[in-house]
Structure 1
């Protein structure tokens, strides 16, 4: 079976990524693992260490990084700024629909994750979209040394 590999047709600009990183405070990490060796754990731990409120979204764990985990975005008790996705591309459309329903501001698909149709749906609903970029790496590149910023 051949795996379909998408390339982002449209992606956030550097200025838009910088704006997202400087204005966001709350990040729901969908697919966050409780295993420290996993990328999702490392990224979430980094974000938390840099002042972001991290909300784990994973139906298979009770909590991680001293935070209660929620089974899905629909069960979150609050609105989040960024929905950071660590799931396979085929799971993205459902996550985007839940993010729209929960009034999130940004869909962020981690490195290797691209879903153009879901991105178009999110943009049509007024959300910003970043695809195929690591939230931690972008923060390190743009803001890690900035004074007074998470």
Structure 2
């Protein structure tokens, strides 16, 4: 069962340091771009993932082609993808043992969530951290290396 209890969400968001944002866009008006900038402003390290933009710089971070190409371990994968495109990324996150998968509002994949949870990952589905952080009063601790 995906995490949706407010206290669980708050604790999760306060424990995360580094996020891989899959479906990152270089277009400032796109929600993934707005959310990435917001999360960076709140002290998270956000590494953009988009095979079409790989190697480019987005909001000061080099875009990676896939989760496997990430330069360091991440605490969470945030999915800005159509639900039918999430299975390969969920399976890659499971293989890499990334602790949390967060599916953005409108991104619902019950079977993928069940696979991830069966593998021991935490799953948040159909939510937006940009909305949840202020709503839940999430306090961001200082980040290592920040």
Relative to the length of structure 1, the TM-score reads 0.88
SS at match of 1:32: coil
Q: Does 1:115 align with 2:106?
A: no
SS at match of 2:38: helix
2:130 aligns with 136
Q: Matched residues in 2 for 1:85 and 1:68: separation?
A: 18
Name which of 27, 37, 51 aligns with 1:35.
Answer: 27
Q: Is the 8 A contact 2:43 2:140 kept in 1?
A: no
Relative to the length of structure 2, the TM-score reads 0.90
Q: Matched residues in 1 for 2:12 and 2:77: separation?
A: 12
Q: Is the 8 A contact 1:79 1:103 kept in 2?
A: no
Stretches (4+) displaced over 3 A: 146-150
Q: How large is the Cα RMSD of the aligned pairs?
A: 1.5
Gaps spanning 5+ residues in structure 1: where?
1-9
Q: How far is 1:30 from its partner? A: 0.1
Q: How far is 1:149 from its partner? A: 6.2
Name which of 37, 50, 71 aligns with 2:65.
Answer: 71
Query: Deviation string for 1:87-130 (max 9, x for gaps)?
Result: 01011111111111222110000000100000000001111000
Q: Does 1:60 align with 2:52?
A: yes
Q: Matched residues in 1 for 2:6 and 2:49: separation?
A: 27
**Count of residue correspondences:** 140
